[in-house]
Structure 1
Amino acid sequence: MKTKHINVAFVVLAAVVLAGVAYGVDYLWDKRFGPTAASAADCRLAQELIDKAQNPPSDAAEGEKWEQQIRQIRYTRLENDGISTEVGKYVHWSMVRATGDPARPPAGTLEEMTELAIGHCEDSGVELRVPKIVF
């Protein structure tokens, strides 16, 4: 009976240690490979650009100019490259949808883009709202 209690105690201890290690690895993985922390100013500007992306031009030539103007703002005013990249993807796919371009993002791309964009602003104090793009 005593051996059985020792075995149970060992299993419980091993489970607690493994859970702690798994949590630590997950935490470090997110810090290393997860979204980078964008500033509140970057997140407010990102929201402005995402809001602007709700009404892209339907003409392809105008869409290219519109996308280029937003790219210029991203490159000159956003300090966090991660949020800039996700906003750029959002603007691009919004323009593609509006112009009727037959290109489509690979499955899961838009969801991942949204998750990353929100993740960049998670600790900024700005709640980033990213409307879904539906093709």
Structure 2
Amino acid sequence: MKIKPLPLDSRRIQGLTLVEVLVALAILSVLMAATANVAVGSYQSDHQVQQRNQLTQIMMGLGRRVMAQDILVLPASGQTSLSLNATQLQNLGFQNTTQVSAIITVRNPLAVGGTQINQFSVQVCRKTTCVQTNVGY
């Protein structure tokens, strides 16, 4: 007994139908849109982390200069704070300071074992992102 092969559908030999092509294109576009959305979100997150790291580096640099009692970053006698804009930060040697500002504020001195420790708050901001630390000498 011989098995007879099924006759092939003639339209299948010619190619895909228009509906099949459109469905495939729709599925591909949804996948591409989802992939693009993930890539953009990842880029934005990386950019925010990079900006925060840069602000932290500037804050730490200013904190070291405060601890070294650098008069360029300490508020003048009788003043409670010192504000630094992007140009002033750049003149202090910091790079990429566009839209960055810093405020160094005198805090209440702390007496420890008869020794007075001067305390300062260092805050560095870019737009709505800020980092802050307290230092003393």
Bin of the TM-score, shorter chain as denominator length: 0.3 to 0.5
Q: Which has the larger radius of gyration?
A: 2
TM-score (norm 1): 0.36
In the superposition, the TM-score normalised over structure 2's length comes to 0.36
Of structures 1 and 2, the one with the larger relative CO (CA 8 A, separation 6+) is: 1
